[in-house]
Structure 1
């Protein structure tokens, strides 16, 4: 009788390598591993061989970078999403894509379940499983870290290392990097280890080797660099006059931004599961794209449309952070966002210098800025009569005067 199949989200690290063998033993199942290439670079080297040696019956390593940039990063950036005012959602936005592909493989392979190595304290377990629920509601999800037997067997890393040695699992576990990382096309994150102390200085010179995508501002070039980003319909389509795909845009901006030390964030954030956590993020390309996009909107986007979209930023960001990418409310907000972006077209010039991103020029064929109307000099168009402001102010002040008369509160101490 054929064994059941389980598709495991596999990184090749200690946790998922141990989980692979544990699943195979515990469920007497055939384990198919899936790894999404979303920009991890050399972290993928040797992964197929390692998975097969560890006991996988089949290995998927799918290049999803282009889809990640076009269908996930770009739509999210059009929304202006920024979680808790700082986080550009680099890890959050990758999870629905990974989970989507994982359930697609499960269906194609006739698997009865999917599995992941996310811990019971983190956000990723929620993101993976909410995506699976939205796309394939009847599929079983196995989360070993929420399994009591698994936790009893592996109360710490020492037990996992011993298990790996016993089963001949090829893993490298080292204390040389006392923190965990997650890398993709949009960013790289660092957490746990010494970073669990919020007083620890993540910008200190002695931890500079932790960073991967960027130099410190102190080591950035002593001369500023100017770059131009061209937008069409809210999407960046060219850099310095060179037409690029979304994937190529992200790769190019990461290179430029990292060279100038931009995009580092150190924050304490609120996880969906209820606790606070400290994370350090490198998002050089994303920071450039976010800034340029916002500047382009300032020139081309109607005021009330912008304010309406902006009123939804917190909601949209929270939906992405919490794993509701495929929820109907996120899709509904995205429809409004897409409509708002139709005229976000033109060129933004940025000046980069030692960690700073400065606007250095805007132009657009559909600009809503009219210098003749905005001028402090005589208006040749006579589109605005300053005398009209008297009635405008009087009507807006009416309710304030009425309220003051009723409450007797003048607001003056």
Structure 2
């Protein structure tokens, strides 16, 4: 940076790394630091972050701790699930979808407090640095972004711990050794990577999993649940209306106890390298299955096939950090248009790591039993019509075959 910032808003977890960053910012730039801690449903008590920030010299009025669970699910997770988004066919984008919301609040708090920069704790090897910064620049092209991992010389765990000790930053006892793996969590998922998980040929230890029981140890009896949708968004479980965050929380409980939503995945990072991660998305896995189930009877084939063809591009945009890009917003408008009649209820069966749709119904259904029945259809469909349909579609194939036969002779 050519000009040192006067005030910086830091995405602050209260953990060792961001606490070191907080102190480093004050030391390196002699600037005022504002901390922002988001509750996205990571399952941790966040108030200790307030005490730790105060201990590190942050003024009480400069400490922001916000419960963003409802906004996270309503405005980010649910729109993404309307698209049935999967990155590289498997990953439900749990980390990716949280970053634009955090960046949005960083930029908003910077405007509120008169800060001229924001900072994050993402490393220079991962995707999160890209997601944080692309989102921040899309919302405020003038904002300065500080990424300490790309600037400082604290390039090893040992040097980080030495800096912490020299600056009286509390170090959890288990941080003095090598951490077994790194974890990111929010209401949609947990993501674990690094250390014991770095060799993709080695099975992940069971202790890595935090939200799901081992499928082999899941209940021996299946469980049946029903999820109701309105315009593509889940609105109720078993007939009980709930808020978006409450629905995802409840689905996490259902999926977790049946060992559903585990993924061992080697993905292609945007920065160019491959990375192995262990993901748990129990509620999201149920939500995806149910959403596809209700689309099966409410979404026209042309609309559904077009939507499915666009999904990989949409998922890639989110993975790569382009949530606030015009192309993602254009695709979202198309996806949301497709969901106008995606309302109804889906029945799911949960059993030992698996979920499957066993029933679906809707007032908006396009399914016509009269047309598909193997019994007498009372004239709903004239099978003779299929002959002309086939002949017209076969015409070009016949012409190609005749040309090929003529050329060979």
User: TM-score under structure 1 normalisation?
Assistant: 0.94
- 1:18-52 superposed Cα distances (whole Å, 9 cap, x missing partner): 11111111111001111111011225241110112
- Distance across 2 between alignment mates of 1:288 and 1:409: 55
User: Which of 71-80 and 45-54 deviates more?
Assistant: 45-54
Q: Flag structure 1 segments of 5+ consecutive residues without an equivalent.
A: none
Aligned to 1:146: 150
- Distance across 1 between alignment mates of 2:58 and 2:195: 30
Does the 8 A contact of 2:21 with 2:148 survive in 1?
yes
- Distance across 1 between alignment mates of 2:365 and 2:259: 31
- 1:359-379 superposed Cα distances (whole Å, 9 cap, x missing partner): 121111111111110011211
Does the 8 A contact of 1:236 with 1:246 survive in 2?
yes
> Are positions 1:131 and 2:128 aligned together?
no
User: Residues 36 and 179 (structure 1 numbering): CA distance in 2 closer, same or farther, change over 3 Å?
Assistant: same
Once the 2 structures are TM-superposed, how far is the Cα of residue 410 of structure 1 from its aligned partner? 11
After TM superposition, where is structure 1 displaced by more than 3 Å over at least 4 residues in a row? 174-177, 407-411
Does the 8 A contact of 1:17 with 1:171 survive in 2?
no
> Are positions 1:325 and 2:323 aligned together?
yes
Aligned to 1:383: 380
Aligned to 1:23: 25
- Distance across 1 between alignment mates of 2:338 and 2:248: 23
Once the 2 structures are TM-superposed, how far is the Cα of residue 278 of structure 1 from its aligned partner? 0.4
Does the 8 A contact of 2:223 with 2:351 survive in 1?
yes
User: Which of 45-54 and 228-237 deviates more?
Assistant: 45-54
Aligned to 1:396: 393
Does the 8 A contact of 2:262 with 2:280 survive in 1?
yes
- Give the total of aligned pairs: 400
SS at match of 1:97: helix
Aligned to 2:91: 87
Aligned to 2:13: 11
User: Residues 410 and 303 (structure 1 numbering): CA distance in 2 closer, same or farther, change over 3 Å?
Assistant: farther
Please give the root-mean-square deviation of Cα atoms over the aligned residues, in Å.
1.5
- Distance across 2 between alignment mates of 1:115 and 1:353: 43
Does the 8 A contact of 2:197 with 2:277 survive in 1?
yes
1:244-393 to 2 correspondences below 5 Å: 244-380=242-378, 382-393=379-390
SS at match of 1:131: helix
Q: Flag structure 2 segments of 5+ consecutive residues without an equivalent.
A: none
Aligned to 2:169: 169
Does the 8 A contact of 2:218 with 2:258 survive in 1?
yes
- Distance across 2 between alignment mates of 1:222 and 1:31: 53
Aligned to 1:55: 57
Does the 8 A contact of 2:161 with 2:176 survive in 1?
no
* Aligned partner (choices 70, 75, 78) of residue 74 of structure 2: 70
User: Residues 409 and 71 (structure 1 numbering): CA distance in 2 closer, same or farther, change over 3 Å?
Assistant: farther
SS at match of 2:210: coil
Does the 8 A contact of 2:14 with 2:48 survive in 1?
no
Once the 2 structures are TM-superposed, how far is the Cα of residue 344 of structure 1 from its aligned partner? 0.7
SS at match of 1:42: coil
Once the 2 structures are TM-superposed, how far is the Cα of residue 176 of structure 1 from its aligned partner? 6.9
User: TM-score under structure 2 normalisation?
Assistant: 0.95
